[in-house]
Amino acid sequence: MDQWRKGRVIENRHWNERLCSLKVAVELPVFKAGQFTRVALPDGDDMLARAYSLVNAPGEPYAEFYFNKVPEGPLSTRLHQLKRGDPLYISTTAAGFLTLSEVPECQHLWMLATGTALGPFLSILKTDEPWRRMDKIVLVHGVRSPDELTYQSVIQGFIAQHPERFESVACVTREQISGTLPQRIPEAISSGDLERAAALTFDPAQTQVMICGSPAMVADSMAALKEKGLRKHRRREPGHISVEIYK
């Protein structure tokens, strides 16, 4: 059990019948905003574990995880049922490269997320670093229905703190909702609707893009951005796009 630290649930917020946010009182591993760690519950003589991104920023006095209850999912269905005071185990290490330390200097930062992949971007935006480094930040959240547009109070807080430097754009694919784009993020990129909604262009000379979502969303968004003149960022070959795939 040396690889695990035992915590206790502070809150289990059910946004809808599937989406949940768990806050856990636990001694967290050292991590960078945007990274993930593993969450586990005992399963017989073993531990049932899965990697989840941390929604909390370094220095916050709890761990927070945003997840989707998967039908027949052996861990997520149990996490969905946890109550305040229940035990939960957190890994002693964190990992992942969707961090600002991996993003080259730029004036404009776009953050593109679908579903629960919003979590690591919230962690990053809670820190000082993006506001020190970038002139303008755009957060784009793609969902199917409006009840999946979660963490709105947190997002509104960023808008209130940085009204001239922060834009939030929602893409809702299954309903027509005022103030949102009725299309997937890749299509909104290709059509130019996303740039118009944010009042900002994907200028390769000024732009970095962080993408977090399903394999299809990441691949399609990268293809659309390539048509705008952006390319994947690598340490040995600097570019514009940094990605994390959620499965």
**What's the pLDDT tens digit per position in 111-154?**
999 999 999 999 999 999 999 999 999 999 999 999 999 999 99
Are the C-beta atoms of 161 and 198 separated by less than 8 Å?
no
42-97 pLDDT, tens digit per residue, is 999 999 999 999 999 999 999 999 999 998 899 999 999 999 999 999 999 999 99
Structural domain that includes position 110 = 100-245
Per-residue pLDDT, averaged over 222-239, amounts to 94
Tokens found for residue 207 = 């732009």
90 and 107 assigned to the same domain: no
- Of 35, 67, 95, which closes a domain? 95
4-31 pLDDT, tens digit per residue, is 999 999 999 999 999 999 999 999 999 9
113 and 75 assigned to the same domain: no
161 and 88 assigned to the same domain: no
200 and 85 assigned to the same domain: no
Q: Name the E strands within the chain.
A: 4-14, 19-25, 36-43, 46-53, 63-68, 87-95, 108-114, 136-143, 166-172, 207-213, 241-245
Number of folded domains that form the chain: 2
Q: What is the structure's pLDDT at 239?
A: 95
Q: Which CATH number belongs to the domain containing residue 194 in this structure?
A: 3.40.50.80
pLDDT band with cut points at 50, 70 and 90 for residue 245: confident
82 and 104 assigned to the same domain: no
Per-residue pLDDT, averaged over 185-206, amounts to 98
Q: What is the structure's pLDDT at 236?
A: 87
Relative to beta strand 63-68, strand 87-95 is: unpaired
- Of 80, 95, 110, which closes a domain? 95
Tokens found for residue 195 = 């740039």
Select from 196, 194, 204, 199 the least CA-distant residue to 228: 204
77 and 121 assigned to the same domain: no
pLDDT band with cut points at 50, 70 and 90 for residue 246: confident
Q: What is the structure's pLDDT at 72?
A: 87
121 and 239 assigned to the same domain: yes
* 222 torsion bin: left (phi>0), alpha (psi -120 to 50), beta (else): alpha
58 and 72 assigned to the same domain: yes
81 and 188 assigned to the same domain: no
DSSP string spanning 96-145? -S-SGGGSPP-SEEEEEEEGGGHHHHHHHHTSSHHHHH-SEEEEEEEESS
Q: What is the structure's pLDDT at 1?
A: 54
33-49 pLDDT, tens digit per residue, is 999 999 999 999 999 99
158 and 226 assigned to the same domain: yes
150 and 187 assigned to the same domain: yes
147 and 34 assigned to the same domain: no
- Of 77, 95, 113, which closes a domain? 95
Q: Which CATH number belongs to the domain containing residue 72 in this structure?
A: 2.40.30.10
